[in-house]
């Protein structure tokens, strides 16, 4: 058994930094609620077409203010982060335009939004609509701004940045990094629309990508901004004309933002964004603990416990597949829901090796709740993230390490 008191001492300064960020973001959210005059009547939705859904419109005002946007779409009809991002692409891009990712290849689930699937099937991807795509590979883990002049052309209407590494083996990009990249993009093409995939990033830092010069962001409400309680939904925020374009894509051309009943989810959406800064802080404290605790047992962790963070993802490297499977199984056993389930490695589309996934969450697929997963191939990386309470992460991680090292 390692010296737990010592671990607590060593991570204390980093927990205090997280608390400072939580305090800042909590005040930002509180101010937005007050400035938008949120009232309890806003928790009830219209029905049918959803015209004059005042609760929905006010919530979108709250999101816009929090994220430094002119306007926002916050909807249960956005079924996931991928759907929100896809809506942003199809809302803004037109045949003949090009989408350029400057942070390397994007998150797995966006593949088929952009191009035909591996088996050649095209379900109406950007490619199918004559919208081309390029990804600029990272250079030593950083955006290769020196090549912007070569790769940005007159057709490059949208330049995309993925803030979080997602499940890739590369660093995540901080708000400061994003600010630098946006400046370089705009210097080459001032009218380029800079889109940031903000998934996993919300409230991890004091500022958000729009404040760093981006034009449009999107994310999922079963990740950070849902505070762990929102059961479904996504958001898009940014410049007004872009949000209008996305709204006409989400509903139908000509209908736009005015339609879409929110039914029973409004109250949890308000409550979720209100508690989100705190819950994100809990997950981050859990991640710092995970990094330090595993390090003390000789496992490599990334980011390291003392590193600055811009997202929730904690990578832990195991020596072999067996260790990784045992660890993930123990995380499952320490879950509040489905603790009795035994995760088995299995195939997953987009991966060439089996993947193990531990998730005993209240909301299906929620990643602000504690989960652990990863592909079973060297370098045996498990992604451990989320946690509604830092204490739960601590208990689960201690048990899992015990099981792996005993
Ligand atoms: C989770 C995630 C997505 C996709 O979100 P889903 O809700 O799973 O569709 C996209 N990009 C990044 C970086 C993510 O972490």
Contacts of residue 150, Cβ cutoff 8 Å, sequence gap at least 6: none
Peptide bond into 303 cis (omega under 30): yes
DSSP H helices in 118-261: 148-151, 175-188, 240-250
Determine the pLDDT at residue 2: 57
Determine if ligand 1 sits within 6 Å of the CB of residue 109: yes
Determine if ligand 1 sits within 6 Å of the CB of residue 166: yes
SS3 state of residue 83: helix
Determine the pLDDT at residue 31: 98
Distance from the CA of 303 to the center of ligand 1, in angstroms? 19
Distance from the CA of 73 to the center of ligand 1, in angstroms? 17
Distance from the CA of 257 to the center of ligand 1, in angstroms? 23
Helix (H) or strand (E) holding 10: helix 4-35
Share of the chain above pLDDT 70, in %: 99
Between CA 288 and CA 297, with CA 293 as vertex, the angle to 5 degrees is: 145
Residue with CA nearest ligand 1 atom 6:
81
In angstroms, the first-to-last Cα distance of the chain is: 10
Spatial distance between the Cα atoms of 316 and 384, rounded to a whole number of angstroms: 7
Spatial distance between the Cα atoms of 80 and 59, rounded to a whole number of angstroms: 18
350 band by pLDDT with thresholds 50, 70 and 90: low
Determine if ligand 1 sits within 6 Å of the CB of residue 198: no
DSSP 242-305: HHHHHHHHHS-TTTGGG----GGGHHHHHHHHHHHHHHHHHHHHHHHHHHHHHHHTT-EEES-T
74 band by pLDDT with thresholds 50, 70 and 90: very high
DSSP 8-state code for residue 137: P
302 has pLDDT over 60: yes
Spatial distance between the Cα atoms of 360 and 133, rounded to a whole number of angstroms: 37
1 has pLDDT over 90: no
Distance from the CA of 104 to the center of ligand 1, in angstroms? 15
Determine if ligand 1 sits within 6 Å of the CB of residue 81: yes
């Amino acid at each position: 058994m390692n010296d737990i008191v010592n671990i607590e001492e060593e991570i204390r300064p980093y927990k205090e930094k997280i608390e400072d960020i939580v305090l800042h973001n909590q005040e930002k959210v509180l101010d937005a609620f007050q400035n938008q005059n949120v009232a309890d009547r806003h928790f009830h939705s219209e029905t049918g077409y959803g015209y004059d859904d005042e609760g929905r419109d006010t919530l979108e005002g709250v999101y816009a203010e929090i994220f430094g946007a002119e306007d926002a779409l916050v909807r249960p009809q956005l079924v996931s982060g991928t759907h929100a991002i896809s809506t942003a692409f199809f809302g803004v891009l037109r045949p003949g335009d090009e989408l350029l990712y400057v942070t390397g290849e994007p998150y797995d689930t966006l593949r088929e939004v952009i191009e035909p699937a591996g088996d050649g099937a095209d379900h109406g991807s950007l490619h199918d609509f004559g919208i081309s795509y390029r990804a600029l590979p990272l250079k030593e883990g950083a955006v290769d701004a020196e090549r912007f002049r070569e790769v940005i052309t007159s057709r490059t209407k949208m330049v995309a940045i993925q803030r979080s590494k997602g499940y890739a083996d590369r660093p995540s990009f901080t708000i400061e990094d994003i600010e630098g990249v946006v400046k370089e993009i705009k210097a080459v093409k001032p009218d380029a629309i800079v889109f940031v995939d903000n998934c996993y990033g919300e409230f991890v830092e004091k500022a958000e990508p729009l404040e760093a010069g981006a034009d449009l962001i999107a994310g999922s409400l079963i990740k950070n901004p849902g505070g762990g309680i929102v059961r479904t939904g996504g958001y898009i925020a940014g410049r007004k004309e872009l949000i209008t374009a996305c709204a006409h894509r989400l509903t139908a051309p000509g209908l736009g933002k005015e339609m879409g009943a929110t039914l029973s989810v409004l109250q949890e959406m308000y409550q979720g964004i209100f508690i989100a800064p705190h819950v994100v802080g809990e997950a981050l404290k859990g991640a710092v603990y995970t990094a330090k605790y595993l390090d003390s047992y000789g496992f490599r962790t990334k980011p390291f416990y003392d590193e600055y963070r811009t997202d929730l993802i904690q990578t832990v490297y195991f020596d072999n597949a067996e260790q990784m499977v045992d660890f993930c199984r123990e995380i499952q056993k320490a879950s509040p829901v489905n603790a009795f389930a035994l995760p088995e490695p299995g195939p997953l589309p987009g991966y060439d090796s089996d993947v193990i996934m531990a998730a005993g969450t209240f909301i299906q697929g929620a990643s602000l709740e504690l989960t652990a997963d990863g592909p079973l191939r060297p370098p045996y990386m498990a992604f451990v993230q989320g946690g509604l309470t830092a204490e739960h992460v601590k208990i689960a991680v201690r048990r899992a390490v015990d099981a792996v090292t005993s």
